[in-house]
Structure 1
Amino acid sequence: MDWNHYRFRSLWPLPVPLTTVYEALRTVDEYPRWWPQVRSVNQLDDSVAVLTIRSFIPYDLTFTAREARRDPEAGVLEISMTGDIEGWARWTITSDGTGTLARYDQVVDVNKPLLRRLALLGRPFFRLNHRLMMRSGRRGLLRHLQAV
């Protein structure tokens, strides 16, 4: 088993219209306004940005996100990532009753040297760190969308 390889899935039920959720998730440069763990977004062009994230473990991860797919009809936003983490992430946004379900899938390898060295013992904490970051992101997005 590669202790530096991770697969994540998060489901965000949101009582907000699908098009509103899609637009908010598409606008990556706005993430720091509502997602506290997204520390910075440096938009390089329409399809490339450099992001720095930090959740509860006080360690920054910086990566370049390149748009791989933007399909409003299918409700899909997908990026490839290189840097401290490498792999891909995808939002799939679907109708869910009167609201929306935002599904986040991510498959990454950790490249940051210290995190690689701590992989075996740190893995449960890294997974918990990600879960807490995603929970905070959902709460932040919901507050942001309800304020709009």
Structure 2
Amino acid sequence: MRSYRFRSTWLVAAAPNLVFGAVVDLAGYPDWWPDVRSVRRIDDDTAELVCRATLPFELVLRLRRAVEDESAGRIRVDLSGDLEGFLAGRITDLGGTTRLEIVQEVVAHKRILRRFDRVARPVFRANHALMMGRGRRGLVAHLTNGI
């Protein structure tokens, strides 16, 4: 077990280029995504994020840019640290609204996730859903209110 696959779709009333710009600007995440507690730049293609959603533990993740193609609306980062795998995004212009489809496939390395996977998997999945919901709301507010 210990592997997870998540899918999320965010609808944002902003131009695709604005959504793309916000999503690839990892350093700006703490400004609009409350569950991203800190970001530390490692190099031009890598950053380390510390995330904490509803459950009382943090995840430390290294994100390394794999694909960043604004014209195709494609983003992908490889993940390592407490989770290993990838996160991919596809941005689509719906004419006045932008759809951001997010797919994550990861294997948990953090001890608490591995130890309690069998009994707490639904709780971990709910925690992830809450985090993604706050991220979507934060991005919408950031891009529509100029936060």
What do the CA deviations read for 1:4-62 (whole angstroms, capped 9, x no partner)?
Answer: 10000000011111111000101011001100001111011221001111100111000
What TM-score do the two structures reach when normalised by structure 1?
Answer: 0.96
Match of 1:103, as an amino acid? E
CA contact (8 A) 2:13 2:144 kept: no
Identity in percent: 40
Equivalent position of 2:58 in the other structure: 60
Structure 1 runs of 4+ aligned residues shifted over 6 Å read none
Match among 5, 16, 19 for residue 17 of structure 2: 19
Name the structure 2 match of 1:100. 98
Name the structure 1 match of 2:41: 43
**What runs of 5+ residues in structure 2 fail to find an aligned partner?**
none
- 1:58, 1:33 → 2: CA distance? 21
Q: Name the aligned partner's letter for residue 10 of structure 1.
A: S
For the residues of structure 2 that align with 1:73 and 1:111, how far apart are their CA atoms?
34
Deviations 1:83-119 (A, max 9, x none): 1000000111111132100111100000011220100
Distance 1:114 1:129 in 2: 14
Amino acid in the other structure paired with 2:123: F
Question: What is the match of residue 76 of structure 1?
Answer: 74
Query: What is the CA-CA distance between 1:147 and the residue it aligns to?
Result: 2.2
Instruction: State which of 124, 138, 141 in structure 2 corresponds to 1:140.
Output: 138
Q: Give 2:110's aligned amino acid.
A: K
3-state SS, counterpart of residue 141 of structure 2: helix
Query: Structure 2: which amino acid aligns with 1:49?
Result: A
TM-score by length of 2: 0.97
1:6 to 4, 16, 20: 4
Aligned counterparts of 1:137 and 1:63: Cα–Cα separation in 2: 16
**Alpha-carbon distance between aligned partners in 2 of 1:76 and 1:58, rounded to the nearest angstrom:** 33
| Number of aligned positions between the proteins | 146
Matching residue's letter, 1:137:
G
User: Unpaired runs of 5+ in structure 1?
Assistant: none
CA distance in 1, matches of 2:44, 2:9: 27
Mapped partners of 1:57, 1:27: distance in 2? 26
Letter of the structure 2 residue corresponding to residue 25 of structure 1: V
Indicate which of 107, 117, 120 corresponds to 1:119: 117
